[in-house]
Amino acid sequence: MLKKRKANTKLGVAGVFLLCLMASAISILIFSLLTSLIANSLNDPTKYIGIFSLIAMLLSSAAAGITCSHIYKEGGMLIPSLTSLSMVLIMLLINVILSGGKVSAGAFMNYACYFGVYNISAFLSKHAPVKKHRKNRP
């Protein structure tokens, strides 16, 4: 019988956390670039900036949650929850620095959506139903 190999045995919990954080940052960068390219193709890109930022947050958080749950298969929901919370805090810190201390309610709503969708997608990815392969019996 072939033994199942454990994923990320050489990485510690801190290494898995940093890997999930890096995957989250990469996914938000990719989806932000894609939505900004779509927004720039419109006549008035500032008209729909709120909905485009929300779409980028939702898609990137779903992708990052699924990626993080696949990276950290053997654990529970602590690492995905801490990763999503740290990403929200990092984005909030960047927003506070760039806006001079004034953060809008829409930004808080986007961050709350990011946190929720990240955790829901990680939970659903961990607890997805698995197809059982049936043997062909005569």
What is the C-alpha to C-alpha distance for residues 82 and 2, in angstroms, rounded to an integer?
34
Percentage of the chain lying above the pLDDT 70 cut: 87
Question: What does the pLDDT read at residue 9?
Answer: 56
Tokens of 15: 């290494």
Helices (H), the chain: 13-40, 49-71, 78-99, 105-126
CA dihedral 116, 121, 126, 130 (to 10 degrees): 150
What is the C-alpha to C-alpha distance for residues 125 and 73, in angstroms, rounded to an integer?
10
Tokens of 64: 């990052």
Question: What does the pLDDT read at residue 69?
Answer: 87
Predicted TM-score (pTM) of this structure = 0.78
Which residues contact residue 137 at a Cβ distance below 8 angstroms, ignoring those fewer than 6 apart? none
Report residue 86's pLDDT band, with 50, 70 and 90 as the boundaries. very high
Mean of all residue pLDDT scores within the chain = 84
Tens-digit pLDDT profile for residues 95-136: 999 988 888 888 888 899 999 999 999 998 887 777 766 666
